[in-house]
Amino acid sequence: MNRNDYTPSEPISFPELALNILTRQEHNISRKQISDNALKVLYRLHGAGFDAFLVGGGVRDLLLGQNPKDFDIATNATPEQIRQLFKNCRLIGRRFRLAHIMFGRDIVEVATFRGHHQEPSKNVSQQSKEGMLLRDNVYGTVDEDAERRDFTINAMYYSIANYAIHDYAGGIEDLEDKLIRLIGDPETRYREDPVRMLRAVRFAVKLDFDIEEDTAAPIEALSHLLKEIPAARLYEESLKMLQTGYGLETYHLMREYNLFQQLFPAVSEFFTNSYDSKTEQMLDLVLDSTDQRVEEGKRINPAFMFAAMLWYPLQAKADELMESRNLCHYDAVMEASNYILDDQVRSIAIPRRHTATIREIWQLQMRLPRRNGKRAFRLMELNKFRAGFDFLEMRGEIEGGDTEQLAKWWHTFQNAGRNMRQAMVNDLDSADSGKPSFRRRKSGNKKRSYRKSKSES
């Protein structure tokens, strides 16, 4: 079926769910697999007379035999009651109040059971005209909370009271079938929170599952709803999508559903049917490199990824400015960087500390060819030199020619001894000696002569 021909069925936001309880003997989860801090929170809530469940991805990953990144907890205690139980608690969130229990750097997130936002008795929720939930502080029962979960595989609850798993939406079956399935009517659920479209793709790639047919059907037609999501939230989601070890495959699936295009409009202008533009080659290269670094446990910097992704759109904008405004290349690139970054942060709110690094990496691409005299030695002392060089190597793989040769020169220069480095610079000076050069004017006005030489250097 063509996704653009999708016609939604009658909305059913919160269907009747059939509870399936798996006793301790019927599942593979052991308390030894749950973090000590999460167990402390579960037991204290239970000891105070509240219901306490391990929920969501923690239960899902444990059932799959994986190590969960986080252990989230759901309870019938209100945020204020949770704060009274835990001195190391802080409450966060406007859309839905959450409690963070702090154990040093380890944070255990505790959420109160959510209720149905249509109920007027606790009318503290708010929706937009498009059906998006803007505020959602409506508390309910564990059954209602399960109905409000997004995917069936995230609607399983591990009870600390008897160590049973409460499966409300057939999550166990979908885990066995390797399916990502939304609870309720897909279009309604996506309209409530368009980020669920991104989550469907992320879980499918991370778990190597398929997106169930009805769940997948409306995604492309509703992808434009992501434009209504705050840019700050989409920045965090973009990191989850692209910098957690599955970025390359996630990008390709996002692109298939027209989701990547909503987050990176300037990049998507250079997409081709053959996937062979320089922009597309760079996307594959930088995302594959990021995945490898994550796998090897190496440090990754979002600024480097964004600098690489936006480089060729930047170059195209600079070429346009050089032609339309008669700017030199350097000035055109500097001006184009403003256009490109301003446009991108409207979709994804890249923090200023990262946009500053992005600019430094871009500027280095124009400085690295200038290696004469002491410049090469000084460039290597710059804080962002390594990032600039790594990016130059990527460009060399794509562009070949002079860019590739420049990258090889810098690779040799970095690994050479002091004498060898000086010889390499001398060779450059000798090669340039036959080229026309401006001679310093022999004038009594030394200040003027100095300024001129500076501009020529």
Enumerate the β-bridge partners of residue 151: 182
Spatial separation of the C-alpha atoms in residues 375 and 367, rounded to whole Å: 9
| pLDDT at site 11 | 38
Class level of CATH domain 295-430? mainly alpha
pTM higher than 0.95 for the full model? no
Phi first, then psi, for residue 249 (nearest 5°) are: -65, -35
Whether 72 is a known active-site residue: answer: yes
Sequence-distant (≥ 6) Cβ neighbours of residue 348 within 8 angstroms: 231, 234, 235, 238, 263, 264
Neighbours of 253 (CB within 10 A): 18
Whether 143 is a known active-site residue: answer: no
pLDDT tens-digit map of 229-268: 999 999 999 999 999 999 999 999 999 999 999 999 999 9
Look up residue 97 and give its two tokens: 């109040």
Sequence-distant (≥ 6) Cβ neighbours of residue 336 within 8 angstroms: 314, 315, 317, 318, 320, 321
Phi first, then psi, for residue 269 (nearest 5°) are: -65, -20
Whether 150 is a known active-site residue: answer: yes
CA distances from 375 to 177, 194, 367 (A): 60, 50, 9
Q: What is residue 402's three-state secondary structure?
A: helix
Decide if domain 15-117+135-177 falls under CATH 3.30.460.10.
Answer: yes
| pLDDT at site 429 | 79
Buried b / exposed e over 197-224, threshold 16 CB at 10 Å, is bbbbbbbbbbbebebbeebbbbbbbbbe
Rounded average pLDDT over 401-423? 96
* Confidence check: pLDDT of 394 > 90: yes
CA 101 from centroid of its chain's CA atoms: 25
From 136, 145, 150, 291, active-site residue: 150
pLDDT tens-digit map of 145-176: 999 899 999 999 999 999 999 999 999 999 99
Strand stretches in 81-122, DSSP E: 89-92, 98-103, 106-112
Rounded average pLDDT over 75-80? 95
Q: How many residues does the chain have?
A: 457
Neighbours of 55 (CB within 10 A): 27
pLDDT tens-digit map of 395-408: 999 999 999 999 99
From 51, 70, 214, 343, active-site residue: 70
Q: Provide the residue ranges of all domains of the chain, joining segments of one domain with +.
A: 15-117+135-177, 295-430
* Confidence check: pLDDT of 63 > 90: yes
- Contact assessment for residue 46 and residue 69, using Cβ atoms and an 8 Å cutoff: no
How far does the chain reach from its first CA to its final CA, in angstroms? Answer: 62
Q: What is residue 111's three-state secondary structure?
A: strand
Is 294 exposed, middle or buried, given 0-12, 13-18 or 19+ CB atoms closer than 10 A? Answer: middle
